[in-house]
Homo-oligomer: A and B are copies of this chain.
Amino acid sequence: MEERGMEEQGMEQMAAPKLTRKELEDRLRAEFPEMFHAMSGYLIEDVWYGGGLVRRRYDPTSLRPGGTVSGPTIMALADFTMYVAVLSAIGWVPLAVTTNLTINFLKRPAARDLLAQARLLKLGKRLAVGEVGIRSDGEEDLVAHVTSTYSIPPPVK
């Protein structure tokens, strides 16, 4: 067992995502217009099979005292990035819903963009489990770490 490559294992990362970045953005824009408005700060930077990278633009109105990005802003970003990772692996199933999310806040984020990277740890028929690392743009240390479970609805017949 090779020791320090936890993320190298698991999902087949060479596989193509079920939705390209462009397809995903078009779908989200068309079907979640209210969300998309609230979400105007989000930018899907990359999508691969079982994972995704999302940028959240710096927005002074989400600041907490001391100039940092608020916890709820980080949780929302993590949840959205996990959603992107789930859809990348199962295709457009918009009614996939979060059943569980655990976040550890690790470091006060800087007053700049956040980058969240999600990857699935497991993809079952009924549940997808993944983790998300969130960083301030240009920094190495994690601002927060999330694990989350999505429930996948049964296929429509």
Contact = CB atoms under 8 A, between A and B. Distances in A.
Interface of A: 1, 3-10, 13, 31-32, 34-35, 37-38, 46, 51, 53, 60-66, 70-72, 75-76, 79-80, 94-95, 97-108, 115, 117, 119, 121-122, 126-127, 129, 131, 133, 135, 137-138, 140-142, 145, 147, 149, 151
Contact of A79 (B3, B62, B71): B71
B100 A101 contact: no
B100 A102 contact: yes
Given A60-B34, A64-B32, A99 B104 contact: yes
A135 to B, nearest CB: 7
B99 A127 contact: yes
- Which of A10, A99, A103 has the most CB atoms of chain B within a 10 A radius of its CB? A99
**Top 9 nearest A-B pairs by Cβ distance?**
A5-B5, A72-B76, A106-B122, A102-B102, A4-B9, A9-B140, A75-B75, A104-B129, A6-B7
A1 B35 CA distance: 27
A98 B106 contact: no
A127 B76 CA distance: 24
A154 B76 CA distance: 29
Contacts of A76: 72, 75-76
Contacts of A8: 4-5
